[in-house]
A and B are shown apart, each in its own frame.
Chain A
């Protein structure tokens, strides 16, 4: 599976959009990009996934560059409950998720 690079941490103001970057320059053509998050010691929670096209669901939007070497997770209106570690994962299938260190996002009032 391709490796991902994410910033260690970032702050975000409550009510503002949070843009979380992820670099996956070695991604192969059929590998998906998945995003999960982990709120303080709870089990990870699925957010969104994509292959080539941008995706949006009720939680977030995923923007994937045309060359697929990077992506951005967008939380449109961050709330205090969005404070968590966010993981960008790249892989061929979802049955063996390889978590990295992720980005610790702190949403401030």
Chain B
């Protein structure tokens, strides 16, 4: 069964550094998403992406964050200058279409630790 993959599984970085989290969505999917989950808290929507542009973003997704689909397979989340509070599990997801309901398939996540 096709699946969403994410790399790395764990990223440790120092405060103020830039990080790029990578995702490979399922190949025929057209919508892509990033969510995050701070340890012990709920899963939070960050951003959705379609047709090479952001469809919607949450208040969390400020100017420090950006997303990109650099080629036909990867979908990336960049955090320009990490803060301690960015430490969280980041989940990428993808879905086929939005014309009617299509389930979101989530990746295994990248655990980001900012020290």
Known contacts A41-B109, A42-B108, A43-B109, A32 near B101 by CB under 8 Å: yes
Q: A95-B33, A98-B45 are in contact. Are A49 and B107 (CB under 8 A)?
A: no
Interface string of A19-58 (1 = CB under 8 A from B): 0000000000000100000100111111001000000000
Contacts of B60 in A (CB 8 A): none
The answer to whether A94 and B102 touch (CB under 8 A), given A38-B43, A42-B109, A99-B42, is: yes
Give A31 to B101 CA distance when docked, in angstroms: 11
Take A95-B98, A96-B48 as given contacts and tell me if A44 and B42 are in contact as well, using a CB distance cutoff of 8 Å. Answer: no
- Residues from chain A with a CB closer than 8 A to the CB of B101 are 32, 49, 93-94
Closest chain-B Cβ to A90's Cβ sits at a distance in Å of 13
CA distance in complex: A38, B104 (Å): 13
Among A49, A87, A97, A102, contact of B45 (Cβ-Cβ < 8 Å): A97
Asked whether B102 lies within 8 Å of A99 as measured between CB atoms, the reply is: no
A101 within 8 A of B: yes
Choose one: A41, A49, A87, A95; the contact of B48 (CB below 8 Å): A95
Cβ-neighbour of B98 out of A32, A45, A87, A93 (below 8 A): A93
Q: List 29 A-B contacts (CB under 8 A).
A: A32-B101, A42-B106, A42-B108, A42-B109, A43-B91, A43-B107, A43-B108, A43-B109, A44-B104, A44-B106, A45-B106, A46-B103, A46-B104, A49-B103, A94-B98, A94-B102, A94-B104, A95-B55, A95-B98, A96-B48, A96-B56, A96-B58, A97-B35, A97-B43, A98-B45, A99-B44, A99-B45, A100-B42, A102-B42
Sorted nearest first, the 8 A-B pairs with minimum C-beta distance are A43-B106, A46-B103, A99-B43, A43-B91, A99-B42, A44-B106, A95-B48, A96-B45
